[in-house]
Homo-oligomer: A and B are copies of this chain.
Amino acid sequence: MPDKSTLEVCVTPGLLPLYPIDDKVVVVIDVLRATTTMCVALDQGADKVIPVDTIEECLSFTGKENYILAGERNGRKVEGFHFGNSPFEFMDGVVKGKTLVLTTTNGTRAIKMAEHSYQVVIGGFLNFTALTKWIVAEGRDTLLLCSGWRNKFNLEDTVFAGAIIHHIKEYFLVDSDSAFAAEKLYLNSRRNMLHFMKQSSHYRRLAHLGVVNDIKYCLRPDLTSIVPVLKNGALVIANSTKHPRN
């Protein structure tokens, strides 16, 4: 029987250089809100989502037909963009057939940092079951990369990483302190996730901006079965023949 593949947790992009990822699947997690919003956009029919690092890079797509510019800095919509980073902004058909160009404080940056891995995949609670099935089916050494807050540890992404660990650890070799701690924090939180998340600094940051409904939405499980993967610099829905919708 072959050895199991590894499943690890990197608690912030600031520590990513410690993890070799060239041959690994990297699951980028920015639950509040970037990777949730990206899933919504693709689920709502966007052709693709291009994550970019800077506001300038995003603005360079201005005026391009069928491109939508979106993003935030410190939680607030950037001036000159069509949309911010709220999942609700991308519903009601506004992104159907469009390409979304998105830049956020943490999530898009984490995706760019992991671009040289074997495969970047993203998700949140809204595609949790589909995402975990995809990771298990892939069966590769996998790193769960929490997007954090400006390279510091954050609670919500670590809890989400812990949820993944808890649900699929039997299929992998899980052997790191960060994975154990993340799972513990998930187990502490799962009976009342919203209450637990209220302790996070990003909850307070977003609540201050009046987007508590965004947070509630970001914590709702299994609203979609799509799994976004990075192909040629853009997030698209993973090949459904390999990972059929369930």
Interface residues, chain A, CB within 8 Å of chain B? 11-12, 14-15, 18, 149-155, 158, 175-178, 180-181, 184-185, 188, 199-202
Complex Cα–Cα for A184 and B201 (A)? 15
| A201-B188 in contact (CB<8A) | no
| A15-B15 in contact (CB<8A) | yes
A4 to nearest B CB, angstroms?
A: 17
| B185-A181 in contact (CB<8A) | yes
A159 to nearest B CB, angstroms?
A: 9
Complex Cα–Cα for A180 and B159 (A)? 12
Residue of B nearest to A15 (CB): B14
What are the residues of chain B within 8 A of A158 when measuring CB–CB? Answer: 177, 181
Complex Cα–Cα for A14 and B16 (A)? 10
A88 to nearest B CB, angstroms?
A: 25
Complex Cα–Cα for A12 and B181 (A)? 14
Complex Cα–Cα for A155 and B151 (A)? 19
Would you mind naming 27 contact pairs between A and B with Cβ atoms under 8 Å apart?
A11-B153, A12-B15, A14-B14, A14-B18, A15-B15, A15-B151, A18-B150, A18-B151, A149-B177, A152-B177, A152-B178, A153-B176, A153-B178, A153-B181, A155-B181, A158-B177, A158-B181, A176-B201, A177-B199, A177-B200, A177-B201, A177-B202, A180-B200, A181-B181, A181-B185, A184-B185, A184-B188
